[in-house]
Structure 1
Amino acid sequence: MSVHKVIIIDDEPPAREVIKHFLKDHPAFELVGEAENGFDGLKLIQSQNPDLIFLDIQMPKLTGFELLELIDNPPTIIFSTAYDQYALKAFEQHAADYLLKPYNRERFEDGLAKALTLMNKSATPVATEALVQDYLQEPTHRLVVKDGTKIDIIPTEEVIRIAAQDDYSEIITAKGKHLKKQTMKHLEQVLDPKKFARVHRSSIVQVSQIEKIEKYGKETHLAQLKNGDEVVVSASGYAKLKELLGW
């Protein structure tokens, strides 16, 4: 019988104890670690390479979904959260299951069975972008970036622009540049559409950072930003800016 490695990431000790208690009756699952916040959880994932994570959402420092953004190939996830039924429906189809606190043994057993079925099928984990986008009901107010072992949390108000860089997106702020392994499409979806505009397939700008816009080509314009950067604006991007700026 193969044994699946499990970790628990939850800031509430009683919640972790409940999961550990229920797991004792399942020899096919081995608890290899637990963490009380997202930072420690990320280190644990990197060192243990678990098959299954019991993951809370609302945690200090780093939320469960921000943590997922930092994992390249997430394992099977069971959310263990106090979020209400309405919010959970958004990602029900992506996770193996969710456990709405407080839950009983029967509900736990059901979730574990779903996770086991998913793992035995060797299913490809769902892209974290889909998980995060379905969870977000409101625009994000910060972006989380991992650089080696360092994690930077960037308030979106500090973002000047974002540029496509192959499989990454480069986030430019007054303090420096950060590479995030996320698509421009995803960032466009999670940023506040009243403050940020996808002006070109390779560029997102914070509208308040635009100093002026000039004609550049037959169907393009050039936006000069307050930091001196210049960004090409496509025809569709220009139409979007006109709408946002009320021109």
Structure 2
Amino acid sequence: MILISPKVSKEWSFYLSIESIENLFVMKKYRVLVVDDEDLARELLIEYLKEDQRIEVIGECSNGLEGVKTVQDLRPDLVFLDIQMPKVNGFEMLELLTDPPEIIFSTAFDQFAIRAFEMNAVDYLLKPYPIERLSQAVDKAIERIEKKHTNELPVEKLVSDHDEQVVHVERIVVKSGSKIHIIPASDIRYIESQDDYVMIYWKNEHALKQKTMKYFENHLDPQQFIRIHRSYLVNISQISEIQQYEKESWILRLNGGEKLKVSKSGYRNLRERLSF
């Protein structure tokens, strides 16, 4: 409790209860769960995490099934998750969770990195890793948790939209030859449909990915991307101008000079979104 009272001299004096003073110095703790089938790996990770004053380790699990139940019961802010585990692996565990917390994968296998980032993981730690690398991952997780809290909707809205919530991916991973590209969503210029594949264009590069256009339409932020044609999904910030060349026919020009065809429904989408 804090009481504020004016003195006769028109100065202000503050009266703080002991409880209020203590609360001023209480550091926020982020609740963390560790899921790994290797006892030694779990113990070492927990030992590292306990050195971070921001972290409260609330539990540990040795397999994915136990991890699902513990996440549902304890509602951690962050989970460190192994991938190769008996009964249920790390990816299967995530698929069983309707509202998963932030995830940092901690594994000895590097071949799962692409899938991990596609599932919107905060980070991918390859065992063994130094404590400095762990700290970097924790920093990123806390930043994302705080951003999520800042952008939370009112409770009434959250309840009414619960069944409609979709997690928007923040980056896309594509493999091109021997290279693996991790592309921030904001860097994507546009996506072109090519049957069961899409061509992703970003900066001065492009690469093919085996995903449908519908997947990206559902998982990229609709405030940032707009469907202008059955073949094109465009980053709104990349739009330079819209030109009509025939009756009910339009061309959209991007900042880089590319011209993309706009369908009737795409033109309606543009008018609604851009208010013209």
> TM-score if structure 2 supplies the norm length?
0.46
Measure, in 1, the Cα distance between the counterparts of 2:211 and 2:165: 16
Gaps of 5+ in 1: 1-7, 23-35, 45-49, 70-133
What does residue 139 of structure 1 align with? 168
> Which structure is richer in relative contact order (CA contacts within 8 A, separation 6 or more)?
1
* Residue 240 of structure 2: aligned partner: 211
What SS does structure 1 have at the residue aligned with 2:104?
coil
Per-residue deviation at 1:138?
3.7
- Equivalent runs, 1:155-234 vs 2, <5 Å: 155-234=184-263
Q: Given that residues 36 and 42 in structure 2 are in contact (C-alpha distance below 8 angstroms), is that contact kept between their aligned partners in structure 1? A: no
- For 1:143-179, what per-residue CA distance to the aligned partner results, in whole angstroms no more than 9, with x for missing partners? 1223356432110111111001222111101130021
- The aligned counterpart of 1:53 is 89
| Contact 1:163–1:170, Cα closer than 8 Å, also in 2 | yes
Q: How many angstroms apart in 2 are the aligned matches of 1:148 and 1:195? A: 29
Give 1:1-247 correspondences, 5 Å limit: 13=42, 18-19=62-63, 53-55=89-91, 57=94, 58-59=103-104, 66=117, 137-147=166-176, 150-247=179-276
CA–CA distance in structure 2, aligned partners of residues 225 and 172 of structure 1 = 12
Aligned partner letter, 2:89: I
Stretches of structure 2 that go unaligned for 5 or more consecutive residues are: 1-34, 44-58, 67-79, 95-102, 107-112, 121-162
Aligned-pair CA distance for 1:53 = 2.9
Coordinate RMSD, CA, aligned: 3.9
Runs of 4+ deviating beyond 6 Å: 8-12
From the CA coordinates, give the structure whose radius of gyration is larger. Answer: 2
Indicate the residue corresponding to 2:51 in structure 1: none
What do residues 111-145 of structure 1 show as CA deviations (whole Å, max 9, x unaligned)? xxxxxxxxxxxxxxxxxxxxxxx997442221122
8 Å contact from structure 1 (residues 161, 171) kept in 2: yes
Distance 1:166 1:188 in 2: 15
TM-score by length of 1: 0.51
